[in-house]
Amino acid sequence: MPDIILKKIISSYLNINSAIITLVTIGLITIITIVAYSLERRIRKTSPFYRRATVHIFEGVVLGFSMVMLQQIFHILNNGSVNGGGLYANAQLTILLYCMYLIRNKITLLINICMPFLYYSSMNTERMNNKDLPLFLISYLFLVAIVAFIYWQTDNLQNSEWKYTIMQVLFGLSWWILLWVDHDFPLIEIINMLIVFLIYMTIIRFCAKKLQETMIDYNDLQTQVNYDELTGVRNRANLDKTTQEIFSTYSHEKVPLTIAMFDIDHFKEFNDQYGHSIGDEVLKHVAHTMEREMFLTDAKGQLFRFGGEEFIIIFRGKTPNECKPIVIDLRNALINTPLFINGQKLDITISFGVSKLAAQDSSFKDLFNRVDQYLYKSKNSGRNRLTVEGNTFDFEKP
């Protein structure tokens, strides 16, 4: 019997189509890994919900796209036939299981749970009267249990080789029983498919592990270099790099470029009265509120932490007059989203300075110095104010 299984594997999988599918699967895994690590480095547990949700939804879309892409390539290679479908199915199962380990969010969990009802003829209502319906339901519930366990125990599974292997076997077994109910192939094929699935997972895991190690090192370096550890927004180093890149463009174009600089009024008092930990919460609250509001209103501004309690927003293609109502909306969003610490409401206000890149500016330093002067003009005028090109406005007065 083992000889028969081995011959079956060799004849079914050691051919040009299997090589193409394997390479495509590795390619899709590579794309998924790069996308996941590129997106995940932009969010943290402290990131606003809308930002985390957007990233997770996009990761789910990438996973779904990979499933469709693999299906289309398989049908092209087989001229629309489902012959040799075990190869294609194992490739998809490999991606599904790999993403369970890599992308740890509820979107991936939901896709894994719903996938049996999207697979081949799984939505065939004739099964409801089929004698194999109980076996399908039992196998499906078993799959859901395995998927849920993998989702909640990913770290423990990855740290134990034998647990990882057992979960692979159980995941593949539950899937192939489900497919057997729909396609009624010989039961011995389940063993065949499981062996190939484990081989696939071994190859993919080796390739992905090397890729992940490279991506982790790169993303850690990128995060440290470009993003503020406390607030999660772009940092001073990222700002310096960005301004160097865009100055040469906007200084010679008629397209406007506007800078808004703001800081938190009386920030030192938060640290002195409540402690530096509360001061950190104030900084995070202000940064997250600004990012969320710009995202929801499509303000198209880039937020940077300039240093201490000072932040900068770069608006590309907008004049100061166009930025004025945006800044007012940002300030009002902060006022309407108070921060509560231990049941106590903290009143947080900010002051702004706004100016655009002028033809006489020899560098961004000239623009920064001017915006900084406008910011201090707002503060010296009583704080909680906005100065646009030298004209100061009180936020509290229309």
Same domain for 248 and 169, yes or no, is no
- The token duo for 124 is 């065939």
Same domain for 169 and 306, yes or no, is no
pLDDT digit string, tens, across residues 204-235: 777 766 766 665 555 554 555 678 888 888 88
**Within 13 Å and on the Cβ side, how many CA atoms surround 204?**
32
**CA pair distance 325, 318, nearest whole angstrom:** 12
Same domain for 184 and 273, yes or no, is no
Is 90 within the bounds of a domain?
A: yes
Same domain for 241 and 212, yes or no, is no
The residues assigned a catalytic role are 309
- The token duo for 187 is 């039961």
What percentage of the chain reaches a pLDDT higher than 90?
A: 23
Same domain for 287 and 193, yes or no, is no
**CA pair distance 307, 311, nearest whole angstrom:** 7
pLDDT digit string, tens, across residues 161-186: 777 788 888 888 888 888 777 776 77
Confidence at residue 370, expressed as pLDDT on a 0 to 100 scale: 95
- Residue 393, exposed/middle/buried by CB under 10 A (0-12, 13-18, 19+)? middle
DSSP symbols for 293-311: HHHHHT--EEEEEEETTEE
How many other C-beta atoms lie within 10 A of the C-beta of residue 35?
Answer: 18
State the pLDDT confidence band at 127, using cuts at 50, 70 and 90.
Answer: low
Confidence at residue 225, expressed as pLDDT on a 0 to 100 scale: 62
Nearest CA among 133, 199, 142, 201 for reference residue 174:
142
Same domain for 249 and 204, yes or no, is no
More confident residue, 371 or 121: 371
The end-to-end CA distance of the chain, in Å, is 86
**CA pair distance 107, 151, nearest whole angstrom:** 11
Confidence at residue 380, expressed as pLDDT on a 0 to 100 scale: 93
State the pLDDT confidence band at 2, using cuts at 50, 70 and 90.
Answer: low
CATH number of the CATH domain containing 266:
3.30.70.270
Give CA 281 to chain center in angstroms: 23
The mean per-residue pLDDT over the stretch 91-97 comes to: 83
Asked whether 334 and 350 are in contact (CB, 8 A), the reply is yes
What pairing do the DSSP bridges indicate for beta strands 257-264 and 350-356? antiparallel
- Residue ending a domain, choose from 208, 226, 244: 226
What percentage of the chain reaches a pLDDT higher than 70?
A: 82
The mean per-residue pLDDT over the stretch 17-42 comes to: 75
Same domain for 309 and 388, yes or no, is yes
Is 148 within the bounds of a domain?
A: yes
DSSP symbols for 145-183: HHHHHHHHSHHHHHT-HHHHHHHHHHHHHHHHHHHHHHH
State the pLDDT confidence band at 120, using cuts at 50, 70 and 90.
Answer: very low
**CA pair distance 71, 64, nearest whole angstrom:** 11
The mean per-residue pLDDT over the stretch 275-303 comes to: 89
More confident residue, 19 or 219: 19
pLDDT digit string, tens, across residues 328-365: 999 999 999 889 888 888 989 999 999 999 888 888 88
State the pLDDT confidence band at 288, using cuts at 50, 70 and 90.
Answer: very high
Q: Which residue has the tokens 């397209």?
A: 255
Asked whether 320 and 328 are in contact (CB, 8 A), the reply is no
Q: Which residues are registered as beta bridge partners of 303?
A: 313
Backbone angles phi, psi at 113, to 5 degrees: -75, -35
pLDDT digit string, tens, across residues 260-285: 999 999 998 888 888 888 999 999 99
Helices 49-77, 85-102: inter-axial angle, 10-degree rounding:
160
Q: Is pLDDT of 246 > 50? A: yes
The two counts, helices (H) then strands (E), for the chain are 14, 8
Confidence at residue 390, expressed as pLDDT on a 0 to 100 scale: 92
Confidence at residue 208, expressed as pLDDT on a 0 to 100 scale: 66
State the pLDDT confidence band at 130, using cuts at 50, 70 and 90.
Answer: low
What pairing do the DSSP bridges indicate for beta strands 391-394 and 385-388? antiparallel
pTM of the model: 0.51
More confident residue, 99 or 133: 99
The mean per-residue pLDDT over the stretch 50-63 comes to: 84
Confidence at residue 320, expressed as pLDDT on a 0 to 100 scale: 93
Q: Is pLDDT of 241 > 70? A: yes
Same domain for 255 and 200, yes or no, is no
Which residues, 6 or more positions from 187, have their beta carbon under 8 angstroms from its beta carbon? 180
Residue 204 domain boundaries: 2-226
Backbone angles phi, psi at 322, to 5 degrees: -70, -30
Is 304 within the bounds of a domain?
A: yes
Q: Is pLDDT of 189 > 80? A: no
Is 390 within the bounds of a domain?
A: yes
More confident residue, 372 or 396: 372
Same domain for 50 and 134, yes or no, is yes
Q: How high is the mean pLDDT of the chain?
A: 80
Look at the chain and report how many structural domains it folds into: 2
Is 231 within the bounds of a domain?
A: no
Is 134 within the bounds of a domain?
A: yes
Is 113 within the bounds of a domain?
A: yes
More confident residue, 374 or 254: 374
